[in-house]
Amino acid sequence: MASELFIGLMSGTSLDGVDAVILERASEQVLIRHTGFEPYPSELRDILLALQHPAQDELHQTALVSNQLARLYAKAVNQVLVSSGIAPQQITAIGCHGQTIRHRPEAGYTLQIGNAALLAELTGITVVSDFRSRDIAAGGQGAPLVPAFHQAVFGATGLNRVILNIGGIANITVLPGTGPVTGFDTGPGNLLMDAWATKHLGKRYDGNGDWAASGTVIESLLQSCLDEPFFDLPPPKSTGRDLFNLVWLASKITDRMTPADVQRTLLELTTVSIADAILKHCDEVDEVYVCGGGAHNAALLNGLRGKLPHASILLTDTLGISADWVEAAAFGWLASQALHRAPGNLPEVTGAKGERILGAVYAS
């Protein structure tokens, strides 16, 4: 494969904004050339949160917001191109994940919005989007999709390695020394902690987990959360805001629970559910490499080190890709796979009936 440039765009469950990565790919060699970030305006974030649930006139609102997202994606693309000095004509394609507003694989669908046709018009660059639907059509979960990228760029070490992405939802990719790659969503990552911090602190997240560290785990609340049937489901499995949200949490808390203690318990929930998943599916793990926003939560990482004492826990920066940009890079890579008619899913991970070429193409 000759060297090509792709742009990967990722706007995840945390609803903080758009990550943009210019990715150079030659065969399986991947190089991050430049990065950028475009934050969501607070009013856009509020609308997207509201669209997570059925509401009056939601189809019209979804279409309008999809156009608004396309313009924001185009802004992110243009800014990363200008800052890098790379011309749009040098980019083969944009891989745009879109913003998930519903993820219901058990009902046979997933919905990521962001008008890809408009994005192609605004940028003059071919856009590949809607990566998840084909996997679901083939009987899969449509998620997680990044394990195929993890295997391509972080695999083949002879060690039992886990790539842990802690975004709004946490997911793991198990790269064993021998045997097939597996992976799945483990449950909440930052999602519940961020929502609780927004509600009680007026902040979008609990920096470094400092507020959580000031509280005490409420064992009854932790157990009530861990009783959620999702945690006992075997992989393949995936989840999102459709299940884990403040309404779900409100059904489990009482007025006698202090906000700081609830936050500490939510941090423990994320830590325990991740560690349990790793121990159950990669009990002889040697290395855990962390990416996503949760990679910057010191309290969370310290908790994981306590529960996985025999594994080294480092950031993916050590492997050559910054923890902040792994997912965006993955969708640039998935766009490359689509245009080269190569599969983008791992059936062992998603549960699909076989490998599939993922993504809808809007040619420039």
pLDDT tens for 110-123 read 999 999 999 999 99
Q: What is the pLDDT of residue 169?
A: 97
Segment 62-67 long-range contacts (CB within 8 Å, at least 24 positions apart): 62/101, 62/113, 65/113, 66/113, 66/114, 66/115, 67/115, 67/118
CA distance 151 to 316: 13
Phi/psi of residue 66, nearest 5 degrees: -60, -40
Residue located via tokens 């793990």: 285
Residue located via tokens 């991740």: 274
Q: Indicate the SS3 state at residue 139.
A: coil
HEC readout, 271-282: HHHHHHHHHHHC
Residue located via tokens 């945690």: 231
**Is the predicted pLDDT of residue 202 greater than 70, yes or no?**
yes
- List pLDDT tens digits, range 76-102: 999 999 999 999 999 999 999 999 999
HSE, CB side, 13 Å, CA atoms: give it for residue 319: 27
Q: What is the pLDDT of residue 53?
A: 83
CA distance 30 to 152: 9
The number of beta carbons lying within 10 Å of the beta carbon of residue 298 is 13
**Is the predicted pLDDT of residue 1 greater than 70, yes or no?**
no
Band (55; pLDDT cuts 50, 70, 90) = confident
**Is the predicted pLDDT of residue 283 greater than 90, yes or no?**
no
Band (330; pLDDT cuts 50, 70, 90) = very high
Q: Kindly state the percentage of the chain with pLDDT values over 70.
A: 100
Helix residue ranges, H only, the chain: 42-50, 58-84, 116-123, 132-137, 146-154, 191-201, 210-213, 219-226, 246-250, 259-281, 298-307, 326-339, 347-350
Q: Cis (ω within 30 of 0) for the bond into 144?
A: yes
Q: For each of the domains in the chain, give its residue range(s) and CATH number, in order of start.
A: 4-142+325-362 (3.30.420.40), 146-319 (3.30.420.40)
